[in-house]
Amino acid sequence: MKKWAALVLILILAMACACFAGAEGAPSTAGQSGSLPMVRGRVAEVLSDETVTTDYSGGQMRSRVLTLRVELLEGAFRGEIIKATQTFDEIGMASSYPAKVGDRLFVGLELDDGNGLRGYCADYVRDVPIYWMAAGFALFLLLFGREKGLKTLLSLGLTVAAVFCFFFPAVIRGASPVWCAVITCIFSTVATLLLVCGWNKKALAAAVGCLGGLAVAGALTALFGYWMRISGIVDEEAAFLMFISDEFLLDFKGVLLAASIIGALGATMDVSVSIASALTEIREKAPELTPRELIHSGVAIGRDIMGTMANTLVLAYVGGSIHIVLLLYAYPVAWSSIINRETVAAQMLITLSGSMGMFCSIPITTLFDAALAYFDGRKPPSEQRAPDGEGDGAPEM
């Protein structure tokens, strides 16, 4: 009954977050542009494919221009067939995918000099393959995990809802990124552990260890971010965010701290659950173990986990910034110059802080689980002396 009550509470909180985000919404962009909307279209015919050379002060630049007949699939002009152009600059020509008959893409509509409708191709429609991949992922979880797989999907959906329906909209409206990240992580941790582990001491130990590790990651990011003088404006996207509103200035240092906390959440929760589950299983199979022995077991298990989980965070961040790393390696730049760039330093700060938080979740989870065992209300048999033949059988102190 408690599990179902917890599940209902989680769903209510998730719905409240979604309604809150939907009611308020992000800063309105209505009326900012008088252009026609961008709609989906299907290529009916490729009319021409040519290379265009443009002269400029530094020389010449080539571009590939395709002229297409595109059938519009949505919007007020649905069913109409218009001419649209697809352009690739000299940089993108080598790895581009020119449109073919049957391809679906997004078309930006505009009016020509005679008020006729024409379009330009913005990007390919990629949501259908993504949905198929997501469906395969969900199917695998359900077939392999069964009931646990279903709970995993529910917890994943709640986490995604918390991040995209609460965190991002709230930050865009001017709320503190740090507090939004804290609320998101607490919600995600509690929701995931209640669904996957249930309402028990294992979930409590894992939650304390996870949130404790995230607190360490956040504290290290704030401390060393100040020491390294990280402004938080570390890339072009961050610079664009400076102009999202005239009413407030986004807290970029807070955004960096929030990125560190949320980025470490998955690995930290994984480690905490692994430690708590292992110690719970050990206690059930060997109830005679003392809390001290449980601590030694938890530390030994944690040491084995540390090696692979450290790679998880480091490689995840390297994969996310691989183009920056390749660009820095492509030019003869000194290592001291690379490591002192704010973009690189910020990524290293997030990676190392998240890894330290993940490592700290191991002893926190272990100590809390051992404390639960100690205060369980029953002493382990190993602390008791078996009664001798003529003794009173009282435990030895």
Taking the alpha carbons at both ends of the chain, their separation in whole angstroms is 41
Predicted confidence at residue 392, as pLDDT, reads 41
pLDDT in tens, 89-132: 777 666 778 888 999 999 988 877 667 788 888 888 998 899 99
pLDDT in tens, 137-166: 999 989 988 888 888 888 888 888 889 988
Round the average pLDDT of the chain to a whole number and report it.
79
What percentage of the chain reaches a pLDDT higher than 70? 82
Q: Does the structure show a pLDDT above 50 at 397? A: no
Segment 212-218 shows an average pLDDT of 93
Predicted confidence at residue 390, as pLDDT, reads 39
Closest CA to 368 of 287, 301, 296, 291: 291
Lowest mean pLDDT among 22-26, 200-204, 214-218: 22-26
Q: Which residues pair with 205 in a beta bridge?
A: none
Confidence of residue 34 (pLDDT cuts 50, 70, 90): very low
Confidence of residue 220 (pLDDT cuts 50, 70, 90): very high
Q: Does the structure show a pLDDT above 90 at 336? A: no
What's the CA angle centered on 43, arms 42 and 49, to 5 degrees? 155
Spatial distance between the Cα atoms of 356 and 67, rounded to a whole number of angstroms: 54
Closest CA to 78 of 39, 135, 23, 114: 39
Segment 269-283 shows an average pLDDT of 88
Phi, psi of 218 (to 5 degrees): -65, -40
Predicted confidence at residue 36, as pLDDT, reads 64
Confidence of residue 2 (pLDDT cuts 50, 70, 90): low
Confidence of residue 61 (pLDDT cuts 50, 70, 90): confident
Task: Pick the most confident of 4-13, 84-93, 235-244, 337-346.
Answer: 337-346
What HEC string does the chain produce? CHHHHHHHHHHHHHHHHHHHHHHHCCCCCCCCCCCCCEEEEEEEEEEEEEEEEEEECCEEEEEEEEEEEEEECCCCCCCCEEEEEEEEECCCCCCCCCCCCCCEEEEEEEECCCCCEEEEEEEECCHHHHHHHHHHHHHHHHHHHCHHHHHHHHHHHHHHHHHHHHHHHHHHCCCCHHHHHHHHHHHHHHHHHHHHCCCCHHHHHHHHHHHHHHHHHHHHHHHHHHHCCCCCCCCHHHHHHHHCCCCCCCCHHHHHHHHHHHHHHHHHHHHHHHHHHHHHHHHHHCCCCCHHHHHHHHHHHHHHHHHHHHHHHHHHHHHHCHHHHHHHHHCCCCHHHHHCCHHHHHHHHHHHHHHHHHHHHHHHHHHHHHHHHHCCCCCCHHHCCCCCCCCCCCCCC
